[in-house]
Amino acid sequence: MERYHIFFLILKTIVGIHLALILLNLVPSDDIIYLVNESFFKFCIGCFLGFYFLFSTKTGLGFEDRLLISVAGFVILYDIKYVELFNKIKALVNR
């Protein structure tokens, strides 16, 4: 098993546990923990898709397909709620 497989397995486990906590109403979806977890997950997936498919030629895909997947990864990075995340962290620090 490659290192990135282990990383994504750990990432999926963390997200699965967090999803179970939300579905059981133990953690509200507007909590700082949820926002940090969602941002971290999007960051990891977005960077992997964006950079791996942009620079890797071992995928067996054509350039246009790799470029499309790479752009999708960067769109995921753009979708992170940076302002809300920083405001919640700032409010937490200023308590």
Residue 14 lies in a domain: no
Residue 12 lies in a domain: no
> Would you say residue 74 lies in a domain?
yes
In which band, very low, low, confident or very high, does the pLDDT at 76 lie, cut at 50, 70 and 90? very high
- Does residue 19 form part of some domain? no
**Does residue 15 form part of some domain?**
no
> What residues make up the domain containing 65?
28-93
* Structural domain contains residue 11: no
Rounded average pLDDT over 86-93: 89
Mean pLDDT calculated for residue range 70-84: 92
Q: What is the pLDDT of residue 33?
A: 81
Residue 68 has a pLDDT of 93
Q: Looking at the domain assignment, is residue 75 inside a domain?
A: yes
Per-residue pLDDT reduced to its tens digit, 32-66:
888 888 888 889 889 988 988 888 878 788 888 89
Q: What is the pLDDT of residue 72?
A: 94
- Number of domains into which the chain is organized: 1
Which residue bears the tokens 């992997």? 48
The type of residue at 66 is: R
Calculate the alpha carbon distances from 26 to 2, 30, 37, 40, 65 in Å.
34, 12, 15, 20, 41
85 inside domain? yes
